[in-house]
Amino acid sequence: MIVRALAMTANARFLCVSPSTLLRRYVGETNINVRALFSLAQKISPCIIFIDEVEGLFRERRTSGGEEHEVSRELKTEFMQLWDGIHKSNEGVIIVGATNRPFDVDSALLR
């Protein structure tokens, strides 16, 4: 509710994203969804992208005790490259995340 009020106050569009919106079963589909999200946000900017349950998308990378799934690793890479504006400028796009488990969120995302 706070982020929605922020968007209204800033006269910005509001996109609410959940993990199920972006994550897909087949390799490459998740990256396409992430690119589409940023493309839409840039077209309707100013825009606030709100990610609910951030730890569902960006879990801390494991150094031991099992491999990270390839889709999850690619999602983090694609999202952070687009967020940083490596491919295009993201002027007018703000990303806000919410979690009740901050210790589970990847440190690269928290920077």
pTM confidence score: 0.79
Among the ranges given (52-56, 64-68, 82-86, 101-105), the one the predictor scored with the smallest mean pLDDT = 64-68
pLDDT-derived band at 92, boundaries 50, 70, 90: confident
Q: Distance from CA of residue 106 to its chain's centroid?
A: 12
What pLDDT digit, counting tens, does each position of 25-60 carry?
A: 777 788 888 889 989 998 998 999 998 888 878 887
Distance set, CA 66 to CA 23, 63, 74 (Å): 20, 8, 17
Neighbouring CB atoms inside 10 A of 95's CB total 20
For all residues of the chain together, what is the average pLDDT?
81
